[in-house]
């Protein structure tokens, strides 16, 4: 008979394999929870949530009120579930998040949409069968930086022999870890296994057809996730994966596969943008004006660095574009705050 547990957080090896120990070291767990079962959200499907616990998986209801709030459970969340007499298994608590990938709600309401929670690593996935898109990588890097997880760029399909162009394009971004992988030849898979060993959680983000699910299957050594060939003409994907889904690697580590996205709206991410563009922001310290916009101001160290060739002109443009987008968001947010209450839902 299993020992009576003092607290639902006295987790054994089964939860450790799902990443619980690594997670618990990063947050302060509430001391008000005394009953229920700890589990991790594998998948969210409208009102229903699949939660993996030490004793297997539970289909759990998440009441709609909670689903509207900032604490709607997301894939990767740690939760406490209780057996409710009326509704069956129910999420009692969404535990504090150690990290969260947040995007602007697509419906334009200024509400956080948590894509995934409690990841240690964000894999920005790009297929080398498509032309390099540095702006997109930078945007995903901002999202990763903002989440509190460590980014890594995962180039896929390198068996096609087209990785060099990407490699060169990404050289502009300092201190970036770039992995070259191929699900066909198996190259780079060991490196990925090493990265997620010791129960790290890695989420894979990237556009449709980039090869995220194929990579997941290669790492699991099993055809768990459906995959589909890209369009012949332009290598575009077909949105094969439709939900964010967590999978456990038998050799260690947790993966989260996601539906293809081409980009994410960002807001409140100024520090993350500054970090991803540290080459630009470091240089900006030497501009004459502390609020220099690096456009036409005199004694602008950033413009000087562009002229000297230390900063790529297009990289500066991309930085300025992201900054403008964030400023624009901030203005809209402020306008929304000033609107009479009640008009906001």
Ligand X SMILES: Nc1nc2c(ncn2[C@@H]2O[C@H](COP(=O)(O)OP(=O)(O)OP(=O)(O)O)[C@@H](O)[C@H]2O)c(=O)[nH]1
Q: What residues numbered 123-162 form the site for ligand X, per CB under 6 A?
A: 156-157, 159-160
Nearer Cβ to ligand X, position 68 or 242? 242
For residue 210, state whether it binds ligand X (rule: CB under 6 A): yes
Q: What mask of x and - would describe binding to ligand X in positions 258 to 277, judged by CB under 6 A?
A: -xx-----------------
Token code pair at residue 118? 């409690």
* Minimum distance of Zn ion from residue 141's CB (angstroms): 22
DSSP 79: E
302 binds, among Zn ion, ligand X, Mg ion, none (CB under 5 to 8 A by kind): Zn ion
49, 141, 183, 205: which one binds ligand X (CB under 6 A): 183
Nearer Cβ to ligand X, position 91 or 216? 216
The span from the CA of 274 to the CA of 214, in Å, is 33
213, 249, 318, 319: which one binds ligand X (CB under 6 A): 213
Cβ(266)–Cβ(213) below 8 Å: no
Nearer Cβ to Mg ion, position 165 or 222? 222
In the chain, where do the E strands start and end? 37-45, 48-53, 56-61, 78-84, 88-94, 100-104, 112-117, 121-127, 150-156, 178-180, 201-205, 245-248, 254-257
75, 118, 201, 227: which one binds ligand X (CB under 6 A): 227
Find the helix or strand (DSSP H, E) in which 328 lies.
helix 313-338
Applying CB under 5 A, which part among 51-59, 156-164, 232-240, 309-317 lies near Mg ion?
232-240
Applying CB under 6 A, which part among 34-42, 178-186, 299-307, 327-335 lies near ligand X?
178-186
Nearer Cβ to Zn ion, position 256 or 292? 292
The span from the CA of 55 to the CA of 60, in Å, is 14
What residue is closest to ligand X based on CB? Answer: 260
183 binds, among ligand X, Zn ion, Mg ion, none (CB under 5 to 8 A by kind): ligand X
Cβ(264)–Cβ(140) below 8 Å: yes
Nearer Cβ to Mg ion, position 212 or 318? 212
213, 284, 305, 319: which one binds Mg ion (CB under 5 A): 213
Helices (H) then strands (E): counts for the chain: 11, 13
| Beta pairing, strands 112-117 & 100-104 | antiparallel
Nearer Cβ to Zn ion, position 78 or 319? 319
Q: Which residues bind Zn ion (CB under 5 A)?
A: 287, 292, 294, 300, 302
Cβ(61)–Cβ(90) below 8 Å: yes
The span from the CA of 321 to the CA of 324, in Å, is 5
Q: How far is CA 331 from the centre of its chain?
A: 26
Applying CB under 5 A, which part among 129-137, 241-249, 284-292, 331-339 lies near Mg ion?
241-249
Token code pair at residue 219? 């790492």
Applying CB under 6 A, which part among 45-53, 97-105, 202-210, 276-284 lies near ligand X?
202-210
Return the closest-CA partner of residue 122 out of 196, 175, 183, 184: 196
Nearer Cβ to Zn ion, position 219 or 273? 273
């Amino acid at each position: 008979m299993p020992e009576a547990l003092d607290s639902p957080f006295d987790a054994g090896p089964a939860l450790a394999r799902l990443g619980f120990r690594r997670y618990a070291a990063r947050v302060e767990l509430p001391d008000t929870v005394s009953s229920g079962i700890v589990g991790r959200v594998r998948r969210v499907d409208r009102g229903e949530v699949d939660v993996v616990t030490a004793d297997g998986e539970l289909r759990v209801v998440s009441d709609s009120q909670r689903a509207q709030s900032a604490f709607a459970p997301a894939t990767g969340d740690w939760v406490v579930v209780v057996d409710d007499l009326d509704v069956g298994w129910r999420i009692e608590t969404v535990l504090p998040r150690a990290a969260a990938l947040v995007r602007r709600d697509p419906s334009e309401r200024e509400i956080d949409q948590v894509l995934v929670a409690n990841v240690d690593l964000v894999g920005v996935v790009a297929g080398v069968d498509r032309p390099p898109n540095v702006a997109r990588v930078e945007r995903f890097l901002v999202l990763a930086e903002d989440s509190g997880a460590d980014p890594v760029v995962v180039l896929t399909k390198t068996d096609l022999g087209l990785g060099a162009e990407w490699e060169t394009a990404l050289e502009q971004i300092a201190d970036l870890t770039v992995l070259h992988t191929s699900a066909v030849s198996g190259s780079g898979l060991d490196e990925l296994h090493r990265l997620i060993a010791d129960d790290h959680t890695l989420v894979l983000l990237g556009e449709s057809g980039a090869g995220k699910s194929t990579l997941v299957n290669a790492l699991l050594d099993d055809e768990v996730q459906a995959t589909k060939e890209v369009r012949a003409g332009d290598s575009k994907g077909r949105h094969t994966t439709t939900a964010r889904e967590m999978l456990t690697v038998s050799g260690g580590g947790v993966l989260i596969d996601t539906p293809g996205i081409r980009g994410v709206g960002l807001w409140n991410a100024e520090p993350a943008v500054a970090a991803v563009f540290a080459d630009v922001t470091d240089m900006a310290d030497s501009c004459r004006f502390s609020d220099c916009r690096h456009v036409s101001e005199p004694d602008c160290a950033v413009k000087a660095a562009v002229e000297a060739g230390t900063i790529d002109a297009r990289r500066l443009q991309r930085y300025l574009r992201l900054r403008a987008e964030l400023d624009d968001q901030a203005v809209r947010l402020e306008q929304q705050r000033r609107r009479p209450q009640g008009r906001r839902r």
